[in-house]
Chain A
């Protein structure tokens, strides 16, 4: 996996130009570095834990204008901004933050949208603590980075609430047909980029709503669904077409679509295959894959049963196995649905948890119990075939494994039983096997991931590109968007430079 080590010369030049503008120089002089460092990080207003852990409304309330401007002042406007390098899509962070400082919020969103077309989503779900905020100069100087994510969310909400969504001018149609397979973070991004260039984009989505993991995976209290609705409307205004209830691979294969006149393909079908532990009792009633649990609650709105017809098992004592964002989402949902006890069972310790720091903090505040260094070995059912208990074993950490994290080793003789009536297995997701299965020429790796050239996102098949979880396994929204931007640029090049012979019908 190639990660950016250095900003390209063009980007460096662009940043330098922005940095040297008169208004930036004036702004830097208006407050000294010492003064800026004295300002403490503005706290994101949150709902009270005991109130918010009973419903699905958003936890974070968002910064207001005063807090946002004050936070923006903390940014030192570095001559060599590391934050831009830390961002997987290379947002011009200093400029958008300095525009907030002077109060020009709409211009700030415009600047943001030059590189990141969905800031309302990223500001909420990006793991900023390991990306931009990790390399922030303020963090090095004072230990506390600028709240870049909260500021991103602030400006994008401004735009959305004011209704002034900026639509760029679309050039005349190029006549090329692009098939984007999957309306998740990667697919929506590719669609937006290519529609803006005048290509005729059709997005094919298997489910009945667009969004992918944004709609079925991430719950309402982290990402309100009406934000997604605005994103899809925006894409339609750019001229992209969305075909829902269309499963590429079954309803039509890539080969069929080629015969229908599509010139180029982007595969963004994600990592929707649930991983199982393959331990006894995993098929008992009440043991769910995280995918099923989340799909029932988030997509089919089972939290509103019986107004919505899809049910979900309401456990009294819920255990979620895993330590990532999906596990955090699942356990917080279980609690909101009325579990008296909602527990995380994770085989490593808190330090190794891959979940976003803010999610773990929110979960702890809401009363979620954490059982670290523990793993289930089997589930025990009652006479009706429903889970009633879980036998676990304690772990200790040994030498690091291939992921760089210390390997969990079971401690013999430490078995114990936990009473549970709902289990959600959230130990990771693997790439969706449908496109690889139905496109035999496509080169696929050992774990089912589509193989690409990481500089161009091109697969081994001509005219077929891929990005997001389908090439990485379960990862993040922002990484999917980073892949999508590279793929979109390459697809545009491919369509403009290469002579594509189109079949005459």
Chain B
């Protein structure tokens, strides 16, 4: 059982969840994730670690509310307990001095990018951060990310940020503007990551993505999270979650993420009927 230290809404449908997990916070590195189960009947789902406090013994994650499991997480209060909070899982991000790195993220990816951008900055890289939000009121952690960035861009669908364009186009412009971009890290929904990878492909810039397939155990035991990278089957939970975006079979990942589409709707309706009669 793990105790919830804090749960607060950052922006509509995105919540911050802070959990007491000293064993995980002792060991975790940027890019790793945890598996959480909201209650005894819940699913086991992966959440990227967005921050940690090694002294306090806490792990912070950012949750996008979509179906039953994430709805349950969004209703947790300080002092509640969850039956599963296990980690740190996955291979940590590769953190070295590469030169200029673009960190491109959207929705829950903004939180997931933060520890990676912070570590890359510390390793001596020049960080260009590009965040994608559908509207200005969906932006969160802007200050945190600005602090670890040398340049900061936002692509949005309203005119608040002076940039009304879809992220991959902005990314292409940045690559053209900069004399040289050594690496791109893209974290967000599947479509965003695949579009960013396509945007960087003609420029030959190495692009890493943090894949988000469905998971069950998270330790390499079941193969639910299998993805095809470079023609070979890999398990995202132990071989990833980061992979070369130019080698990922995106079509297969899209299809596999839709495996339980109808069940997810049925589950949410069932849960809502019981909890909000």
Contacts and interface: CB of A to CB of B under 8 A. Distances in A.
A306 B267 contact: yes
B260 A292 contact: no
Given A285-B255, A295-B216, A250 B224 contact: no
A218 B266 CA distance: 28
Contacts of A291: 221-223
A207 interface: yes
A384 B255 contact: yes
B159 interface: no
B103 to A, nearest CB: 25
A276 interface: yes
Contacts of B42: 309-310
Interface in A258-307: 272-274, 276, 278, 282-286, 288-289, 291-292, 295-296, 300-301, 305-307
Given A206-B86, A309-B43, A434-B219, A276 B255 contact: no
Interface in B198-233: 216-217, 219-224, 226, 228, 233
Contacts of B217: 206-207, 295
Nearest to A209: B83
A246 B89 contact: no
Contact of B84 (A245, A385, A386, A434): A245
A73 B37 CA distance: 51
A247 interface: yes
A278 B251 CA distance: 19
Nearest to A309: B43
A251 interface: yes
Contacts of A308: 41
B95 interface: no
Interface residues of A, number: 41
B221 A295 contact: yes
A434 B256 CA distance: 25
Interface of B: 2, 23-24, 27, 37, 41-44, 68-69, 83-89, 216-217, 219-224, 226, 228, 233, 238, 251-252, 254-256, 258-260, 263-264, 266-267, 270-271
Main secondary structure of the interface of B (DSSP, over half): mixed
Given A206-B217, A282-B233, A295-B216, 10 more contacts: A208-B83, A245-B2, A252-B27, A283-B233, A292-B216, A295-B221, A300-B216, A306-B266, A309-B43, A311-B263
A295 B43 CA distance: 12
Contacts of A250: 27, 87-89, 219
A289 B23 contact: no
A207 B87 CA distance: 11
A313 interface: yes
A241 to B, nearest CB: 15
Interface in A308-359: 308-311, 313
A117 interface: no
A432 interface: yes
